[in-house]
């Protein structure tokens, strides 16, 4: 087997009028230490993300958000045969965006009908396997977005799925390496997710020092 390639050094982050900043699932259940699916370090993200949101707005870039938005019962949850503790149930504290995060643009919800909504772009019905779009692609096209900059939670699930879809849909896609955190169910999952994203054509960028 080929030795693992180190991920390339991140580049500085620059926004323009054809870019959008997408904040993925910065919700209490992931980003608050009391959340039911707390991602370690998620609570550290809002100040850095707010600085990015300010940069994006000053550059005329769109700022958009995704929100994991589940019914009380879904095959996405362990109690109903899935993988995860109950989290981000629509309308609950856990599903709300972290209160420290500045909200300065549209929010795209995913999973409302019980789908596995890992990607911000599409949802897969776990029963039928059918995939339906969320409206994010249409939103980005309506704003003439060509470059998508992604930060948020979690690196190894929703950020990964959203980044892979973004590249496949033809967006020039960047991930903010210091603006994401991983679940790391297995040690190294976050790093491997970044490697997969780079192999797919994603650029790694850094918020600090930008
Ligand atoms: C996510 C697990 C389950 C995520 C969502 O936002 O990364 N992870 N649902
Ligand atoms: Zn979920």
Whole-number Å distance, alpha carbon 139 to ligand 2 midpoint, is: 22
Query: What mean pLDDT is predicted for residues 159-176?
Result: 97
pLDDT above 60 for 103: yes
Is the Cβ–Cβ distance between 202 and 6 less than 8 Å? no
- Around ion ligand 2, which residues have CB less than 5 A away? 68
Q: Which residue owns the Cα nearest ligand 1 atom 6? A: 158
Residue at token pair 């993988």: 83
* Nearest by Cα to 150 from 34, 31, 62: 62
CA of 107 to the centre of ligand 2 (A): 16
Give yes or no for residue 7 having a pLDDT over 80.
no
CB 91 within 8 A of CB 97: no
Q: Taking a C-beta distance cutoff of 8 angstroms, is the pair 76, 84 a contact?
A: yes
Out of 130-134, 148-152, 201-205, which region has the weakest mean confidence (pLDDT)?
130-134
Rounded to the nearest integer, the mean pLDDT of the chain is: 93
Closest atom of ligand 1 to 157 CA is 7
Atom of ligand 1 nearest to the CA of 30: 6
Looking at residue 200, its pLDDT comes to 98
Q: Provide mean pLDDT across the span 117-145.
A: 91
């Amino acid at each position: 087997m080929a030795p693992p390639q180190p991920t390339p050094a991140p580049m500085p982050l620059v926004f323009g009028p054809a870019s959008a900043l997408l904040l993925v699932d910065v919700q209490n259940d992931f980003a608050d230490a009391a959340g039911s699916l707390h991602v370690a370090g998620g609570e550290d993200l809002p100040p850095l993300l707010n600085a990015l949101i300010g940069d994006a707005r000053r550059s005329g870039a769109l700022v958009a958000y995704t929100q994991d938005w589940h019914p009380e019962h879904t095959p996405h949850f362990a109690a109903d045969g899935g993988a995860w503790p109950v989290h981000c149930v629509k309308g609950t504290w856990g599903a709300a965006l972290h209160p420290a995060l500045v909200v300065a643009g549209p929010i795209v919800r995913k999973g409302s009908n019980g789908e596995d909504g890992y990607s911000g772009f599409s949802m897969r019905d776990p029963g039928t396997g059918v995939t339906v779009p969320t409206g994010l692609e249409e939103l980005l096209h309506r704003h003439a977005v060509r470059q998508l900059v992604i930060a948020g939670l979690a690196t190894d699930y929703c950020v990964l799925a959203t980044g892979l879809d973004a590249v496949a849909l033809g967006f020039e896609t960047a991930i903010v390496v210091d603006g994401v955190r991983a679940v790391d169910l297995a040690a190294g999952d976050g790093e491997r997710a970044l490697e997969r994203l780079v192999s797919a054509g994603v650029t790694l960028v850094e918020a600090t020092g930008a």
